[in-house]
Amino acid sequence: MKRTVFTFGLIAGAIMAAMMLITMVFMKEIGFDKGEIIGYTTMVLAFLMTFFGIKSYRDNVAGGAISFGRALTLGLMITGVATLCYVATWEVIYYKFAPDFGDRYAAYSVEKAKQSGATQAQVDAKMKQMADFKEMYKNPFVNAALTFLEPLPVGLLVAVISAALLRRKVSG
């Protein structure tokens, strides 16, 4: 099981990490809105490795049968490995190459609020919220925890769906 988890988890993690790097390099051209769409689309595609990992384990290791619980466990472990790759990549990018990300994102968020017709009080509240976020985000543990939560829901959903689709009882 470990081999399947690491093989498919690392492939999914590499896909997400590569796209994150590419997106960050071209962030000025892409923008935050499109970057978010690209990021979550990539996560869905990368987490398809969960499906293929469960299928591979079922067909090649488990003799063609796997319970929902076992498939879900496998899917969650693949998701965990992939998500840890994503977090590790972000931590390196943020602290080594894009320490100004918080400032750029805060400026974008405040500008977006202004363009949406927010009142000055709402803009001021957004500015305070973003200042608090930037301060909190400087802590590597908080930064890592918040980053972990980005792909996790996508991975959990794909793991549950994959486990449901791929479960198969022993025939006989």
- Cβ within 8 Å of residue 56, ≥6 positions away: 4, 8
Q: What is the pLDDT of residues 18-54, one digit of tens each?
A: 999 999 989 889 888 898 899 999 999 999 999 999 9
Do the beta carbons of residue 57 and residue 77 sit within 8 Å?
Answer: no
pLDDT at 6: 97
Q: pTM higher than 0.85 for the full model? A: yes
pLDDT at 47: 97
pLDDT at 171: 65
Q: In the predicted model, is pLDDT for residue 84 greater than 70?
A: yes
pLDDT at 172: 53
Stretch among 59-63, 84-88, 154-158 having the lowest mean pLDDT? 59-63
Q: What is the pLDDT of residues 102-161, one digit of tens each?
A: 888 888 888 888 888 888 998 899 899 999 988 898 899 999 999 999 999 999 999 999
Q: Tell me how far apart the alpha carbons of residues 67 and 139 are, in angstroms, rounded to a whole number.
A: 41
Structural domain boundaries in the chain:
2-97+144-166
HEC string of 119-148 equals CHHHHHHHHHHHHHHHHHHCCHHHHHHHHH
Higher pLDDT, 118 or 3: 3
